[in-house]
C-alpha cells in the first residue's frame, strides 16, 4: 500500500446538504433557515461573542495594570544544556550559543545552574544565577557577564 492508494470508504464520506430543491427533499422552501428573521438573511447572524445587547464581558471587567515598554526578557539556559551542546569546548561565547540554535540571535541570555559542570569552562552571557556562577567557578571556570 502506498500513500496515493489510501482513500476513505464511500459510505464514510458525508454527502453535502443540497438545499432549496423542493419540499420532498426535507430542506426545500426555507432551506433549513426557518421563517424570516436575522438568521434567515444572507450574511445573517451575530458574532460568537455577542451577548444579546447585554454589556459584554470584556467591558464589564475593569482595566488592570500596564505593559512596561522597558521590560527586558531573558532566555533561560541551564549550564547542563549549554555544556551538552558544546562537548569538550572550553570557551563558549554568546555567538556560539546563537549559532548552535540554543536561542534566537540577539536574545538576552541568562545562565541558570541546573546540570553538572565537570571541567573548567568559560561561558559568556548577559546574566548568571548565583548557583550557575558557583558551579562554574568551583570547576575552575570563569563567567563573563555582558552588558545588555
Report how far apart, in Å, the C-alpha atoms of 115 and of each of 74, 81, 111, 112 are.
19, 7, 11, 9
Q: Mean pLDDT over residues 50-57, rounded?
A: 96
Could you give the domains of the chain? 74-145 (3.100.10.10)
For 96-135, the pLDDT digits (tens) are 999 999 999 999 999 999 999 999 999 999 999 999 999 9
Model confidence, pTM: 0.63
Secondary structure class of 57 (helix, strand, coil): helix
pLDDT at residue 125, rounded to an integer? 96
Amino acid at each position: 500500500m502506498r500513500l496515493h492508494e489510501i482513500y476513505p470508504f464511500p459510505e464514510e464520506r458525508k454527502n453535502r446538504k443540497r438545499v432549496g430543491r423542493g419540499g420532498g427533499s426535507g430542506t426545500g422552501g426555507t432551506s433549513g433557515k426557518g421563517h424570516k428573521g436575522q438568521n434567515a438573511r444572507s450574511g445573517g447572524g451575530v458574532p460568537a461573542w455577542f451577548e444579546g445587547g447585554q454589556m459584554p464581558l470584556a467591558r464589564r471587567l475593569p482595566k488592570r495594570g500596564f505593559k512596561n515598554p522597558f521590560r527586558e526578557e531573558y532566555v533561560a539556559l541551564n549550564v547542563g544544556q549549554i555544556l551538552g551542546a558544546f562537548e569538550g569546548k572550553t570557551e563558549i561565547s554568546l555567538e556560539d550559543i546563537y549559532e548552535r540554535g540554543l536561542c534566537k540571535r540577539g536574545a538576552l541570555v541568562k545562565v541558570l545552574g541546573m546540570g553538572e559542570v565537570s571541567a573548567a569552562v568559560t561561558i559568556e552571557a548577559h546574566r548568571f544565577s548565583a548557583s550557575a556562577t558557583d558551579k562554574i567557578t568551583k570547576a575552575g571556570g570563569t563567567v563573563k557577564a555582558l552588558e545588555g
